[in-house]
Structure 1
Amino acid sequence: MPITLIAGLGNPGSRYVDTRHNAGFWFLDQLAQQANESFRNNDKFYGDICKINSCWLLKPNTFMNLSGKSIAALANFYKIPAEQILVIHDELDFPVGTIRLKKGGGDGLHNGLKDIIAKLGSRNFLRLRIGIGHPGHSSKVTNYVLNKPTIDDQIAIDHVINSALKEMPLIMAGELNQAMQVLHSLNLP
């Protein structure tokens, strides 16, 4: 089943542009740039949108923990089922330089995913999870995700984003198994 909505998660505003939590935004910015498209604000969908062929790209302006409001607004308006939605987000539980594609699942204690599941009423959307590493203790997570990665971590994250961008035609066409084989075998640069 082809993907008709790709949502990248992050926080709006210049304070958060370079923070780990914005890995989903980084990915979508690169995807749009490759297609020579630009995002424009859309108040109806609470985010910035553009379109590549028949697929919407969405960067919610609702802040991470309320991402579902934006995604559900666009999905409901265009009658896009959860199975045709791909959410791209940072993943604390994966080492930096790891990227994984997954069908469905829980929220993994990710507040953005928790809100999306609640607002869509479904867990059956795809997730592209970009590893950002873990600070070691739960008390350090908020500060960690809301700060810039180290130079080495940024290089590793950029590497997996660039590699995953090459697989987007397969993912967007719904050829997930083939894309997973490539993505799940990526190594650090």
Structure 2
Amino acid sequence: MSRVSPVSPWLIVGLGNPGSTYAGNRHNVGAMVIDELATRYDTTLRAHKARARAASIRLGRPGTSGPPAVIAIPTTYMNESGSPVKGLADFFKVPVEQIIVIHDELDIDAGTIRLKRGGGEGGHNGLRSISAALGTKDYLRVRVGIGRPPGRMDPAAFVLKDFNATERKELPFLLDDAADATELLIERGLTDAQNTVHAGGPTRS
């Protein structure tokens, strides 16, 4: 059974590629969720020596005092995400049990959120880099479904394209749902959060 440290913050990392060229890509949806959390907690991500942009927050609804967390987006390319995640975890003394990685997932229907700990990387270069850097796959993941590419399109090309017009209309709801699921994961633990999120129920009372 995983143990949560009462003194260490949570580390919540959203994956993507740096720069305006990639900002709207499906592959960057993890980073978009971090931006949603930054807006939600009225904070600004600032440069960190671990090659990331990061901010410290206190989770919970306004007027409450929830657990501390660091939200971050690596400033490296996706396939080099491991070094920033390891650097942040070391700097803030975060155990692997309290690392959450938010990322795009081809094998989940578009608009669907799934939670898990560990398992394979499914060909995701960002996850592969993180697993190698941490020396384990047993970190938490918030998997944001983007669906499979149409026809014979190469999946690598599909993830590096922007969300289409129809998807962009639903994107704010998807980012909000993913941010809610992340908060719920910390508040209730993996099993309870899975039971709620995977059943499609509301994550906020």
Larger radius of gyration: 2
How many Å separate the matches in 1 of 2:21 and 2:150? 24
Deviation at 1:98, TM superposition (A): 0.9
1:108 aligns with 2:122: yes
Residue in structure 2 matched with residue 5 of structure 1 by the alignment: 11
Residue in structure 1 matched with residue 166 of structure 2 by the alignment: 152
Deviation at 1:137, TM superposition (A): 6.6
| RMSD across aligned positions (CA) | 1.9
Mapping of 1:1-189 within 5 angstroms?
1=4, 4-42=10-48, 44-53=49-58, 54-136=68-150, 140-186=154-200
Deviation at 1:183, TM superposition (A): 1.6
How many Å separate the matches in 2 of 1:142 and 1:38? 31
Q: How many residues align?
A: 186
TM-score by length of 2: 0.84
Q: Higher mean Cα deviation, 104-113 or 173-182?
A: 173-182
Q: Matched residues, percent identical? A: 39
Contact 1:96–1:156 (Cα < 8 Å) also in 2:
no
Q: Which runs of 5+ in 1 are unaligned?
A: none
Q: Which runs of 5+ in 2 are unaligned?
A: 59-67
Deviation at 1:151, TM superposition (A): 1.9
Contact 2:102–2:144 (Cα < 8 Å) also in 1:
yes
Residues 7-34 of structure 1 show CA distances to partners (whole Å, capped at 9, x for unaligned) of 0000110001111000001100001100
Contact 2:113–2:177 (Cα < 8 Å) also in 1:
no
Change (3 A) 1:139 1:123: same
TM-score by length of 1: 0.90
How many Å separate the matches in 2 of 1:64 and 1:8? 10
